[in-house]
Amino acid sequence: MKNWLRMLAGVILLLLIPAQGRAHPHVWADIKVQVIFDDKGLLTGLHETWLFDDFYSAFVIGGGATQEQLESVLAENMKNLEEYDYFTRIMSGETRITGAKPEQASSRITGNRLEMSFLLQLPAPLSVSDLPMRYAVYDPAYYIEMLHTKAPDAVTLVNAPKECTSKLEQPKPDMEQVVLAASLDKTQKASDGLGLFFAEAVTVKCG
């Protein structure tokens, strides 16, 4: 368990708040990201896969779902995510990249868990030779906790030049953010900045 999760658990016990009824987050998702390059060595997009927890999946799909129903849920999710840049913050150096659009969205059941994936296409190919690209996938309100899976392919570089590397950094929220997360129940909405403090960040650079 990460340090900040131990801190959060301690705060919940201290405040005598039942863990199931209170405290953000309420939904969990394991994510994988493929960082896509073109034949010129430019970064063109992020292919993201989100695998939701058992309880949320059961709530959404019930005892089962047809592919038509899954596609309906997917369409609604993608529509709602547009306002929040698809829960993805992309930086080139100190400049935020906006206007990325989803393509190839799909959804399925993996085991008993709901999975959705999409290619987030950048508005223009991006060079990461001079400035690194840094991304974070997170729910701004921290209702959903989104962390990279522990699998070796959690972050992969596709068609990247040989000198390109990626580095995943763990979040380091301070006690103030942990206490705030612990104080919120399901009926309360955190400020849109809370999730960033609990977000993993991945830096990709070439050369």
Instruction: Tell me the pLDDT tens digit for each residue of 148-178.
Output: 999 999 999 999 999 999 999 999 888 887 8
The answer for residues whose C-beta is within 8 angstroms of residue 20's C-beta and 6 or more apart is none
Going from the C-alpha of 111 to that of each of 53, 68, 143, the distances in angstroms are 11, 18, 23
What pTM was computed for the model?
A: 0.84
Give 21's pLDDT tier (boundaries 50, 70, 90): very low
Find out whether 136 and 20 touch, Cβ atoms under 8 Å.
no
Gap between the Cα atoms of 136 and 198, Å rounded = 10
Range with the poorest average pLDDT among 22-26, 33-37, 155-159, 170-174:
22-26
The total number of residues written for the chain in this structure: 207
